[in-house]
């Protein structure tokens, strides 16, 4: 029996995924399923690179602007929501086009990772979040190093959300999140994936990033950052990690000139794109 086809458009930030995905949808009677961990949040439009209504060209977009800024969103919840969206699109006789640069989201779909065994205690999560907020992310990372060193090696020391998740699993089940994820990949995906991994020479990508930052500022990134700052989100909120707002906040507070803030944002974005390129080149099957 032929599996339903799902397109995956992935790659680093500013590589043109959005336009490519929309063009693909126009040619294949498709609908887009967002696969960006920051674009799921409401109000964060310019800084996260969401397409405008004109850029969408009438193509339906799912899982975009669906969460309040202070809501927690896990890879497990994303996979559940994305599968539901894909099933609804297929039921309409349309083609699902998954578009985004969050590697863990892409992997969760393609590897059909099951998170059923990873449900944990909400009170424990709140306790770990409080510890991260009061003592810093390094404190909980050090705790993970002691309890699950292999998992710690796979995570950035600044990735509060995933460090907390790995600790939850270890403290609740006594098992490593790596072991559970490996077991969950044994069930084959019900979909056939066609991967469109956008890659390009690094110099070309960096030039696109620099021009994109300039355009974001022209479109109102400073005003959007003022709004973001007014929320006073705790560092443990996933969207508090979004690149753009923290960098532009330095200009708003008078700590940097606008050009200095833009240059710093370009640098941070280039560094992020480099990490994305490495991840996708190593992990995604094409």
pLDDT in the model for residue 286: 44
Residues 80 and 95 in one domain: yes
Same domain, 194 and 52: yes
Is the same domain home to 13 and 105? yes
| Residue whose structure tokens are 């094409």 | 286
- pLDDT for res 93: 97
One domain for residues 173 and 234: no
In a domain, 284, yes or no: no
- On whether residue 283 sits in a domain, the answer given is no
Instruction: Specify the CATH number for the domain of residue 85.
Output: 3.40.50.300
Provide the pLDDT for residue 129.
87
pLDDT reported for residue 161: 82
Count of structural domains within the chain: 3
Domain boundary (183, 213, 241) is at 183
Task: Indicate whether 155 and 41 sit together in one domain.
Answer: no
DSSP string, the chain: -PPPEEEEEE-STTSSHHHHHHHHHHHTTEEEEE--TTTTBSS--TTTTPPPHHHHTT--EESSS-B-TT----HHHHHHHHHHHHHHHHHTT-EEEEE---HHHHHHHHTT---GGG---HHHHHHHHHHHHHH-HHHHHHHHHHH-HHHHHTS-TT-HHHHHHHHHHHHHHSS-HHHHHHHHTTSPPSSEEEEEE----HHHHHHHHHHHHHHHHHHTHHHHHHHHHHT---TTSGGGG-TTHHHHHHHHTTSS-HHHHHHHHHHHHHHHHHHHHHHHHHH---
Does 69 share its domain with 192? yes
Residue 53 lies in a domain: yes
- CATH classification of the domain holding 210: 1.10.287.890
Q: How far apart are CA 70 and CA 236, in angstroms?
A: 9
Residues 79 and 146 in one domain: no
Query: Pick from 199, 232, 266: which residue ends a domain?
Result: 199
- Residues 274, 253: one domain? yes
* 85 is a domain residue: yes
CA angle, corner 25, sides to 20 and 29, nearest 5? Answer: 165
Shared domain check, 192 and 92? yes
User: Does some domain include residue 285?
Assistant: no
Tell me, yes or no, if the pTM score tops 0.75: yes
- Domain hosting 255: range is 202-278
104 plus 211 within the same structural domain = no
- For the record, the structure tokens of 36 come out as 């960006």
What are the residue ranges in the chain where pLDDT is below 50?
285-286
């Amino acid at each position: 029996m032929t599996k339903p086809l799902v397109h995956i458009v992935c790659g680093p930030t500013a590589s043109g995924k959005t336009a490519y995905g929309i063009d693909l949808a126009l040619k294949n009677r498709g609908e887009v399923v967002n696969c960006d961990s920051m674009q799921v949040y409401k109000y964060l439009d310019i800084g996260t690179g969401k397409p405008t209504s004109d850029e969408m060209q009438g193509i339906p977009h799912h899982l975009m602007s669906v969460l309040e800024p202070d809501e927690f969103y896990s890879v497990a919840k994303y996979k559940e929501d994305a599968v539901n969206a894909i099933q609804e699109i297929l039921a309409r006789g349309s083609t699902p086009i998954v578009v985004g640069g969050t590697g863990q989201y892409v992997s969760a779909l393609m590897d059909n990772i099951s998170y059923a065994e990873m449900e944990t205690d909400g009170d424990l999560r709140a306790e770990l979040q409080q510890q991260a907020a009061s003592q810093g992310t390094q404190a909980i990372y050090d705790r993970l190093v002691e309890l699950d060193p292999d998992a710690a090696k796979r995570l950035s020391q600044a990735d509060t959300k995933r460090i907390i998740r790995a600790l939850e699993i270890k403290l609740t089940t006594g098992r490593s999140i790596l072991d559970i994820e490996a077991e969950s990949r044994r069930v084959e995906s019900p979909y056939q994936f066609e991967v469109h991994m956008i890659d390009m020479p690094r110099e070309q990508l960096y030039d696109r990033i620099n021009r994109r930052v300039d355009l974001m500022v022209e479109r109102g990134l400073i005003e959007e950052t003022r709004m973001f700052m007014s929320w006073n989100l705790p560092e443990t909120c996933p969207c508090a990690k979004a690149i753009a707002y923290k960098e532009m906040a330095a200009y708003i507070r008078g700590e940097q000139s606008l050009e200095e803030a833009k240059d710093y944002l370009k640098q941070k974005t280039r560094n992020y794109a480099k990490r994305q390129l490495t991840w996708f080149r190593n992990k995604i099957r094409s």
